[in-house]
Structure 1
Amino acid sequence: MTSPSDKRASGNPAKQAQIELTVKQQREQKRQEKLAEYQKQVARRKRGKLVWWVVGSVASLAVIGLVVASFALAPAPAPSYEAGNATGQEISGVQTFENRSDHVQGTVTYEQNPPAGGPHNPYWLNCGVYTEPQVNENAVHSMEHGAIWVTYDPARVGEAGVDALKAVLPSSYAILSPYPDMDTPVAVSGWNNQLKVDDPTDPRIQEFFTEFWRSQNVPEPNAACSGAIDGPGKA
C-alpha cells in the first residue's frame, strides 16, 4: 500500500523538486491566509474598542456638558430676607401712612395709589408673579399679612425692567404685578410704607424688602400668603 507521499514522489529529480515546491507554496499560502485572517480579526477588535472608546468619550463629554449647562442656565436662587428684620433704617423716598385694617365688601377708594394699606376684602391675593393687574382689595389684604407688593407701569417698564424686579423678589410673601397709569414707573408697597422709584434697578427696592418684608408691625403678622385667591395672569 502506498502513502500519499509515495504518490507524490517522482523518479524524476526535477519533477520531484517541482512537486515539493508546489506543496511548500500551498502550505505557505495557507499560512499567509491564516495570518491575514488573524490580522483582520485583530484589526476588527481594535476598531471595535476604538469605536466604543469614542462613543464612551462623546457620551461622557455630553453628560459633563449637560451638567455644566444645568448649572449655567439654572435660574439664580431667590434672594432671602429676614422676616421682621426691621432695623429702623431710614430709606430715602419712603413714605409712611396710617391706614385702617378692617374687612369690607366691594370696591374701596384708597388714599394712596397704589394702596399701601386700608380697608380690604376678606380674602387675600396669593403671593406670586402676575402678568395682569390685580384687585386692590385682595392685594391689600396680603400686605396686611406682611407681604410686599411691587407694582410697575407697563407703559414705562419693559421686559428687562420686569426681570430686574423679579430678581429682588424673595420666594414668598411678595407680589409683582403691572399697575397701569401710576404716577411713577415702579412702586414698592408694604403695610403703611411705600417707595416710588423711576428705575427698576434702584438699590432702594432691596433695602425696602430688607426693612419691611414680613414686618411684625403689620396688623396680622405671620398670617398666610397662599391658599386664598389666584388673580388673573399668575405666572
Structure 2
Amino acid sequence: MTPTPPSPADKRASGNPAKQAEIALTVKQQREQKRQEKLAEYQKQLAKRRRSKLVWWVVGVTAAVVIIGLIVASIVFAPAPPKAYTPGGEGVEIEGVETYENETQHVEGAVEYEQSPPTGGPHNAVWLNCGIYDQQVPNENAVHSLEHGAVWVTYDPAEVSGDELSTLEAQLPSTYVVLSPYEGLDAPIAVTNWNHQLKVDSAEDERIGEFFEEYWRSADVPEPNAACTGALDAPGKRN
C-alpha cells in the first residue's frame, strides 16, 4: 500500500513554532507590522534630530550671551582714553598757581632746588622720558622734561592711592606728562610746569584740568616742542 503524502495543513502544523506564527500572519498584517516599525524608527530619528537642534540652540544662545557679556565688560572696564588738551594757553589765571623764576643750565650731579618739587633751574643734560612711574624719579632729569614743555604731576603716596590715584591718572594726556610719587610732599598732589606750580588736596580738583589747559606744552618754556622720549627711563616706569 502506497503512503499518502502530507497535506499543506499537515506541513503548517509541523516545524518551528516561530515560523508557523509568521506564516499565519496575513500579507496585510505583515505590511502593517512593517509600517509600524518604519513609523517607530522615523519618530525615533525625528526625536533625535529635535534633541540635536535643541542642544545646538542652547549652545548658540549661551555663546551669544558670553560674547555680549565680554563686549559689555570690555566697554565698562576699559581704561578711559587719555585727556586731550590744547598746547599752550591764553594767559588764564588759575587760583592757587604759584609762579617762579628759574634759570636753565645743564649741570652734573645733584642739585639743591628752592621749590619742592622743583619748578625749574639747573638740571641734568639728559631729560626724563615722559610717562607714568611707580617710583620717585630724579629731580634733575624731570626738570629737563619741564624745560621741554612737559607737565610733572607728583603725589604723596601716603595720601594718594587706589581710586584717588586712578582719578588722577584719568586726567592725564597721552604725551608730555610725567606722573610719579614724591616723598615729603607738603600737599597730596602737586602739578608743575616750568616756573609754575599748583598744589591741591584732591584728584577731583577741577583746577588740575585747568592747569593742563593753560600750561601743557606751553611755548613759554626754554625749549618748547623738544622731545619727551628717547632719553632716560627711570626705575618704576609703567608706560
Asked if residue 180 in structure 1 is aligned to residue 208 in structure 2, the reply is: no
- 2:221 aligned residue: 218
- C-alpha displacement at 1:157, in angstroms? 2.1
- 1:53 aligned residue: 57
- C-alpha displacement at 1:25, in angstroms? 3.4
- 2:147 aligned residue: 144
Distance in 2, matches of 1:50 and 1:156, equals: 57
TM superposition score normalised by structure 1: 0.88
- C-alpha displacement at 1:155, in angstroms? 2.0
Structure 1: gaps of 5 or more residues: 1-6, 11-17
Distance in 1, matches of 2:213 and 2:125, equals: 27
User: SS of the counterpart of 1:176?
Assistant: strand
- 2:78 aligned residue: 74
- Could you tell me the percent identity over the aligned residues? 61
CA RMSD of aligned residues (A): 2.2
Which residue type is aligned with residue 125 of structure 2?
P
User: SS of the counterpart of 2:91?
Assistant: coil
Q: Equivalent of 1:154, from 154, 157, 176?
A: 157
User: SS of the counterpart of 2:167?
Assistant: helix
Asked if residue 44 in structure 1 is aligned to residue 48 in structure 2, the reply is: yes
User: SS of the counterpart of 2:106?
Assistant: coil
Q: Equivalent of 1:93, from 75, 87, 96?
A: 96
User: SS of the counterpart of 2:185?
Assistant: coil
- 1:123 aligned residue: 126
Distance in 1, matches of 2:132 and 2:141, equals: 15
Structure 2: gaps of 5 or more residues: 1-7, 12-20
- C-alpha displacement at 1:231, in angstroms? 0.8
Which deviations, in whole Å up to 9, do the C-alpha atoms of 1:176-205 show, x marking residues without a partner?
111111222211100000011122221111
Which residue type is aligned with residue 69 of structure 2?
G
- C-alpha displacement at 1:60, in angstroms? 2.0
User: SS of the counterpart of 1:195?
Assistant: strand
- 1:229 aligned residue: 232
Which residue type is aligned with residue 75 of structure 1?
P
- C-alpha displacement at 1:153, in angstroms? 1.3
Q: Equivalent of 1:132, from 117, 131, 135?
A: 135
- 1:108 aligned residue: 111
- 1:205 aligned residue: 208
- 1:34 aligned residue: 38
Which residue type is aligned with residue 106 of structure 1?
G
Which deviations, in whole Å up to 9, do the C-alpha atoms of 1:113-149 show, x marking residues without a partner?
1100111101011111111111000000001011000
